[in-house]
Amino acid sequence: MEGLRSLLIETPFIHDILKLNVQPSDSDYAVDIRNPAVNWINNLETDSRYGSWPYSVQELLRPTFPGVVRQIRKNFHNLVVILDPTHESSAELLNVAEMFYSNNIPLRIGLVFVVSDVDEIDGMEDAGVALLRAFNYITEELDAPAAFDTIISMFNRVPSGGKLSVGDVVKVLEKKFPYVEVGSILGPDSTYDDNRKEGRGYYLQTGVGPLPVVMYNGMPYQREQLDPEELETVTMNKILETTSFYQRAVYMGELATDQDVVDFIMTQPNVVPRINPRILSTARTYLDLSNTNNHFIDEYARFLFLDSREKSTAVANSMNYMTKKDDGYIRPVTFWVVGDFDQPSGRQLLYDAIRHMKTSNNVRLGLINNPSDSPSEENSRVARAIWAAMQTQTANNAKNYITKLAKEETAKALETGADVTQFTVGGMDVALFKSAFEGPKFDFLLSHTVYCRDVLKLGKGQRAVISNGRIIGPLEDGEVFNQDDFLLLESIILKTSGERIKSKVQQLGVEEDRASDLVMKIDSLLSSQPKGEARIEHAFADDRYSAVKIRPTEGDVYFDMVAVIDPVTRDAQKLAPLLLVLKKLVNVNLRVFMNCQSKLSDLPLKSFYRYVLEPEVLFQTDGSFSPGPLAKFLDMPQTPLFTLNLNTPESWMVESVRTRYDLDNIYLEEVDSIVAAEYELEHLLLEGHCFDVSTGQPPRGLQFTLGTPSDPVIVDTIVMANLGYFQLKANPGAWILKLRKGRSDEIYKIYSHDGTDSPADADDLIVVLNNFKSRIIKVKVQKRPEKFSEELLSDGTQENDSGFWESLTRGFTGGVKTEESKQEKDDVINIFSVASGHLYERFLRIMMLSVLKNTKTPVKFWFLKNYLSPAFKEFIPYMAEQYGFQYELVQYKWPRWLHQQTEKQRIIWGYKILFLDVLFPLSVDKFLFVDADQIVRTDLKELRDLDLEGAPYGYTPFCESRREMDGFRFWKSGYWASHLAGRKYHISALYVVDLKKFRKIAAGDRLRGQYQGLSQDPNSLSNLDQDLPNNMIHQVPIKSLPQEWLWCETWCDDNSKKKAKTIDLCNNPQTKEPKLQAAVRIVAEWSDYDQEIKRLQNRVQERGAENHTTQKDKPDDTHIEL
């Protein structure tokens, strides 16, 4: 936009120009096959062998089975083979063509023979000439199919890998035509030289590359597609693919039965006069012509010190152009021809450019001289004569005079001392021309020399062509760039950009020369941009009442932005603040259209949303950073119950670090001031995918470590079988990723990696996290040869537990960091639980206390850190100290590829079941999950030691003894009854997991796979943590625990309560009794536990208050229990 504005174009026109799609297409280019040099073997439209086929193009629309080639009497498909008959591969190519012909494939076949065009060489000494003359003779005497059949017979005589000889041609001719003198056909007096010169001329003119060449509808095949078997397959595929193009053309009325199909094909945009890879390549270099200044090249001293952009503008300002006619016409194509015009190669390029320019009124031609030596009066006569003519004569006279100068006879005459005025043309002002030619200043030559060297990056005397700012060159010595290439360049510009830009520039109303300049400069600017999505211009019928409009600042360049949104959607909530920030950052003409649903049965939005994004970094008055971006919720309704949640980028791990309130249960009616919460970005994730190159499968159980040179193992992780996914918690900096010492390092080695910052052959991978965006790497590993038959997860081996245990302690711990011996680890009961919100954290503390009161074995608690409140995390160390237990806070980011849940409760349910194999270190063999709202009445060592009989986990079935609840037992009928097939439906409030077995049978991967399939349906997995393991009971078996391990008043009768080892405070769908009230009524000891915890909390608060009085600068961390 700035470039267009610097060209003095007004902003409304800028937006019109930017909507133009001028990027080069990636389509396959084709050349015109309507040339007499092509010898057509057959014609589907006139040959009798195809007479029974239908003729109408409407047959294309008739339904057929997929893959069927439609036999229609039209030349839809044309195969042209350009070959040298003496080439080794010619026989194979012709055999493929003969196969197509003999099998009645609807393909028209044409041959172009490229043979010696030297008249003195005849068919008795050159096999190529002999075959051409034989083909022409038989075609004339019989027909083209007979000639084709005969030359196939000639090539059948050639041994595999051999070349055709004159003898092969003679032998076949003598056999087939015994009454004819072969010498009269092949010898020097032969009259059968049709297309001999034309064939070579067509080959050279099309520029299709080295022989042999095969073209389908004019599009050359790739070299690797010329293998006989590949050629057959590719051709049949092209026939099937092109059929859909014809079908569309017929359906849209673009192609009718009475039209010539070949003419239709050859008028398509991808058909060009010549294939020149240098021109057709999509890797292009453009000049920056977007500057506007008053510099010129005739002041060399000033020109020398301009930058590249200013030099290009100065050259453009000084350029005089030749055109076909002297008329006021906007020419969309501008060629600058660069070369040493005092050398033959430069003059030839100039001459070809002029010849083309004389055929097209769309072209204007400018010249830049690139001398081979330092400019002097002797070695620049032609260049100075061209310059003088361009400066002093009319465009037409200059064109005619320069055309003379470009001819070699003129140049030779000048070298022998002829005067430049001898070649002047009628109408020239000779005196004015001579004074300019004999002028003492060479500034224009010096400036051109510097420009070619510094901006165009050309060597002395090198040639180039600049087409609307696109640099084509440097051209190699001897490289042909002729009139056909200039035609090709013009064709491409007109089709992609020239005409479109010209139509927009015409609307500006500027005079013709400036308009042609603008087309050139705009084309260079737009075409140089990276290719992106095509712009689409939408016309809105009326926006007076249907759009919110925010006007731009007048006089400045502005972005035109249109947003179409449904205002009561989550997307609209996210988009609105983004638009406001954009408005602050850039000058925007913004229109927001409300695309509302006509009918709503329910309010789609059930949340308030703020997007935390600052337009710029803010500082305080002392120069320090401001405290940080804020999300403010003002004027909120007072009566609803709110939950505060964060939506963060995928690679961020964020936690709340300071708040006085229960962020899961916010009643604004009960809040005295404001609810404030502070969050902190704790980690940036390094994610990756790992695969075994031998099997192509993820190496399940493989472990990676992440660290630094001074601390090699800071965090570790295990590779999932799902997509080979792994994640590691890190922070900005340089990290070293390696296979963990032990079995992972002994069995595997790193084979290759992608997305890291290390050399390809490195064993230890360096990964640099230097921004806040996601970083995803790919690692391929390979088993060591001596370990090829070993598996990572096998019953007979054990991972180096202590190393992994220690590293996980450093990586995951939030509290006590102790080293344990193997014996101590076996004596610890690992208990996992999750909670969110102050109420459930209150239940969690009481559950912990009930465990500790009844369990004699040491206990270690594992908590999901993601959703714990700051108050709980601050209190738990004091509780651990008081009751003598260990704890760790584990966390895991929900992978981006796994279907996301949006409700907080369902997310927590997901963490209870989906990531058990990666949440815990391999050193944890077994753990118990105990719901936060449970009370334990027995020693949990009994449950820990229970034999699961080969199952990876054990759950307690739902009670069925309270008969009045039968109507609520959904698992007794419908889907669940048939799916369980007599098995019990289990509750997820208490379960035990054998992690060794769980990992060995890939239970976690199976559960995630089933979840991914079922969770797409919003009606599936109503109770995610419970429904998923019960749904997978046939693939991942469940050991049913004895009923007394979980008693719940909702489902179990009162008589069974006395045997209960744990009591769960289940929700009651009949009474809907609040949990706190139910806890006090159902569990006699619950209130005592609650009071004991509160007394400890009070002591902790008092201790905190004492510390606060001694340390004035310590922040207030008082916690209020709800």
Percent of the chain's residues with pLDDT above 90: 8
- pLDDT tens per residue, range 1038-1068: 999 999 999 998 888 888 888 899 999 888 8
- pLDDT tens per residue, range 574-610: 888 888 888 888 888 888 888 888 888 887 888 888 8
Query: What whole-number distance in Å separates Cα of residue 1008 and Cα of residue 1016?
Result: 13
Torsion angle (degrees, nearest 10) of CA 808, 812, 816, 818: 10
Give the DSSP letter of residue 482: -
**Across 16-25, 482-491, 691-700, 836-845, least confident range:** 16-25
Query: What whole-number distance in Å separates Cα of residue 1076 and Cα of residue 1073?
Result: 9
3 state DSSP class of 936: strand
Q: Is the peptide bond before 212 cis (omega within 30 degrees of 0)?
A: yes
pLDDT for 701 beyond 90: no
As a whole number, mean pLDDT of residues 186-213 equals 82
- pLDDT tens per residue, range 615-655: 777 787 887 777 778 888 888 888 888 888 888 888 888 88
pLDDT, residue 861, reads 93
Query: What whole-number distance in Å separates Cα of residue 486 and Cα of residue 488?
Result: 5
pLDDT, residue 302, reads 84
Copy the structure tokens of residue 663.
């962020």
Residue 982 zone, left/alpha/beta (φ > 0; ψ -120 to 50; rest) = left
Task: For 853, list phi and psi in degrees, rounded to 5.
Answer: -70, -25
Percent of the chain's residues with pLDDT above 70: 92
- pLDDT tens per residue, range 970-1021: 888 888 888 888 889 999 999 999 988 888 888 888 898 889 888 888 778 8
- Residue 405's pLDDT band (cuts 50, 70, 90): confident
pLDDT, residue 927, reads 92
Question: How many angstroms from the chain centroid is the CA of residue 455?
Answer: 33
- pLDDT tens per residue, range 888-926: 988 888 888 888 887 888 888 888 889 888 888 777 889
pLDDT for 814 beyond 50: no
* Structural domains in the chain plus CATH codes: 30-268 (3.40.30.10), 538-616 (no CATH), 677-799 (2.60.40.10), 818-1089 (3.90.550.10)
Q: Within 741-869, where are the H helices?
A: 743-747, 801-812, 822-826, 838-854
Task: For 561, list phi and psi in degrees, rounded to 5.
Answer: -130, 130
**Across 14-28, 270-284, 687-701, 1090-1104, least confident range:** 14-28
- pLDDT tens per residue, range 734-770: 989 888 888 888 888 888 888 888 887 777 789 998 8
Query: What whole-number distance in Å separates Cα of residue 513 and Cα of residue 328?
Result: 8
Q: What's the predicted TM-score (pTM) here?
A: 0.59
pLDDT, residue 20, reads 63
CA terminus-to-terminus distance, the chain: 58
- pLDDT tens per residue, range 246-265: 888 888 888 888 888 888 88
Closest to 31 in 3D by CA, of 154, 245, 213, 248: 213
**Across 179-183, 684-688, 1035-1039, least confident range:** 179-183
Give the DSSP letter of residue 961: -
- Residue 2's pLDDT band (cuts 50, 70, 90): low
pLDDT, residue 1115, reads 40
pLDDT, residue 1117, reads 38
Copy the structure tokens of residue 223.
């070299």
As a whole number, mean pLDDT of residues 360-366 equals 86
pLDDT for 347 beyond 80: yes
Query: What whole-number distance in Å separates Cα of residue 727 and Cα of residue 715?
Result: 10
pLDDT, residue 808, reads 37
pLDDT for 140 beyond 80: yes
pLDDT, residue 691, reads 92
Query: What whole-number distance in Å separates Cα of residue 797 and Cα of residue 743?
Result: 9
pLDDT, residue 25, reads 60
pLDDT for 821 beyond 70: no
pLDDT, residue 860, reads 93
Query: What whole-number distance in Å separates Cα of residue 237 and Cα of residue 31?
Result: 20
pLDDT for 548 beyond 60: yes
